[in-house]
Amino acid sequence: MAIRKLLLPLTGTRAGEAALGTALSIARIWNSHLTALHVRVDSRDVAPLAGEGLSGAMIEEMMSATEKESAERADAVRAMFDRFVLQHQVVLGDPQPDAPVATASFAGVIGREEDLVAQLARLADLTVVPHPESGEDVSSSDALHAVLFDSGRPVLISPIRPVPSIGRRVCIAWNGTAESAAAVWAALPWMQRAEAVRVLSADEYQRRGPNAADLVAYLHLHGIRPETATFRPIDREVGAGLLASAREFGADLLAMGAYSHSRLRQLILGGVTRHVLERADLPVMMCR
């Protein structure tokens, strides 16, 4: 099982450029194709949001301003992509089976980002999304949640700063849930090529289902010999303890299930997923 197709929704931010570097690193590991996607806002979507009491001329002006801003952002994103691929000598072209090198292409579409990204991610082996930038609420990351909840495919959250390696030392956050099982499945090709693998578990993190020892026995059937570690919450934060254990291992990839509780509960009360999304400084692959 190999990773042959990557999708990267691009926004043009600093975090977006870092994600482009992360996605290219993954493409080169697997000789896969990377599609950088920018979704332009459809100015017609502004009209229903304008509300009552606005004249036709005012709505037309709002639509015109939206179109202008959207076009400028699209131009900036395309320019960033072009600079990046030129600087890093990326091969441009369409995806090819069994290509001996990584390739990349750019796609610009118009519509609702969360809808289009989720739809296109269904035929990607992995979608890479930028890390939520400092000061930005994680809940506002439409592309991230669209892939998690509506694609059926794994998503990798890029760190905000480039990392020297990805997938040499892999951590699996295990709590017995269907979500963590999906993360294990998505991480199998990474674990099979990794130098070292560690299964992370905690009493406070475990849910009903197989335990860490059961997972280790399963991974043995795939030729993977992981070590295990039990972590403890830090300041009552399970997510903080999980990240600390991954850092102690020197992990350059963490795979975990996302939102074992409802997303609404985690957004209101916090939760492991939310903490990791906000605080992780290494690539994190999540599955739902």
To the question of pTM greater than 0.85 for the whole model, the response is: yes
- Please check whether residue 259 is in contact with residue 178, taking contact to mean a CB–CB distance below 8 angstroms: no
pLDDT 10s digits, 75-120: 989 999 999 999 999 999 888 887 789 999 999 999 888 899 999 9
3-state secondary structure 117-161: HHHHHCCCCEEEECCCCCCCCHHHCHHHHHHHHHCCCCEEECCCC
Q: Is the pLDDT of residue 137 over 60?
A: no
pLDDT of residue 19: 93
Count of C-beta atoms within a 10 Å radius of residue 62: 16
pLDDT 10s digits, 204-252: 999 999 999 999 999 999 999 999 999 999 999 999 999 999 999 999 9
pLDDT 10s digits, 44-76: 665 555 555 566 666 676 667 767 788 888 898
Parallel, antiparallel, or unpaired: how do β-strands 196-201 and 169-173 relate? Answer: parallel
The domain in which residue 234 lies consists of 169-287
Q: Which of 125, 157, 189 is the last residue in one of the domains?
A: 157
For residue 118 the two structure tokens come to: 């989720």
Domain-located, residue 80: yes
pLDDT of residue 133: 66
Strands of 5-9's sheet in order across: 91-92, 103-110, 33-40, 5-9, 126-129, 155-157, 284-287, 253-257, 169-173, 196-201, 227-230
Tell me the pLDDT band of 262, cut-offs 50, 70 and 90.
low
CATH number assigned to the domain comprising residue 38: 3.40.50.620
Q: Is the pLDDT of residue 139 over 50?
A: no
175 in helix, strand or coil? coil
- Residues 104 and 148 grouped into a single domain: yes
Domain-located, residue 239: yes
- Residues 152 and 53 grouped into a single domain: yes
Q: Is the pLDDT of residue 266 over 70?
A: no
Q: Measure the N-to-C terminal CA separation of the chain; round to a whole number of Å.
A: 20
Q: Which of 98, 123, 157 is the last residue in one of the domains?
A: 157
- Residues 109 and 198 grouped into a single domain: no
- HSE of 17, CA atoms in CB hemisphere, 13 A: 15
Q: Which of 132-136, 192-196, 206-210 has the highest mean pLDDT?
A: 192-196
Domain-located, residue 163: no
Domain-located, residue 60: yes
Q: Domain total for the chain?
A: 2
